[in-house]
Amino acid sequence: MKKCLVILAKTPGISSIKTRLAKEIGHDKTLEFYQLCKACLSIFVKRGKYSTYVATAEKSGASHTFWKGFDTFHAEGDSLGDKQHFIFEKLLAKYHAVVLVGMDIPQIDQKLISEAFYNLEKTDYVLGPSQDGGFYLFGSRRKIPKLIWCETPWSTSETAKEFTKLLDQEPVYLRVLTDIDHFSDLKTMVKEMPGDKSMDQEKIVGWIRAIT
């Protein structure tokens, strides 16, 4: 089964990043955090079991030096729903299973991604719910009608619930994790780190402990 992991991300210098967090810790510290998140995700580029892409929110982001070392493409569309629909339409034309994650979830590890792909061998959908009611991961082996992506209310406490209600079958659920929107989320994220942290995960934990 041909598999693909894709990271949907904004590009610093082109788009504002983590605006709620930036209001609390400042833009410079927020950029440091974002760079550390990128480093945590770079480990997946080195895996040979699946392809890995960064889907940039901006057209010019796909060629930006910030993503050096990553294979990139522009996630076309105006809204978050449009962009996610574009990603799955594009990649499921080439791969049998696609897993999408965000940038601000550095506590994911190889075991969790492997679990997502393993479940997609048996079912059509897999979802990693986040503490705030959204989701940090969604995987599919089937294209999903654009209407579902467009009718889902994004960035609310009901996002995951409403999205899964629109699917034609229940996804397999992974463990709940915290994506980072506020300063208070950072300590929670540290608690959710895997026991066998990567070197980059160790670095981001050290950075968080230094500012909290």
Question: Nearest Cα to 136, choosing from 187, 178, 198, 95?
Answer: 178
Specify the amino acid at residue 126.
V
Kindly state the tokens that stand for 41: 């995700």
Distance CA 171, CA 164 (A): 7
Distance CA 125, CA 81 (A): 17
Is the model's pLDDT at 68 over the cut of 90? yes
Q: Domain holding 151: CATH number?
A: 3.90.550.10
What's the pLDDT tens digit per position in 4-43?
Answer: 999 999 999 999 999 999 999 999 999 999 999 999 998 8
**Residue 47 — pLDDT band, cuts 50, 70, 90?**
low
Do residues 186 and 208 make contact, with C-beta atoms less than 8 angstroms apart? yes
Kindly state the tokens that stand for 202: 């160790």
Domain that holds residue 33: 3-211
Structural domains counted in the chain: 1
The pTM assigned to this predicted structure is: 0.96
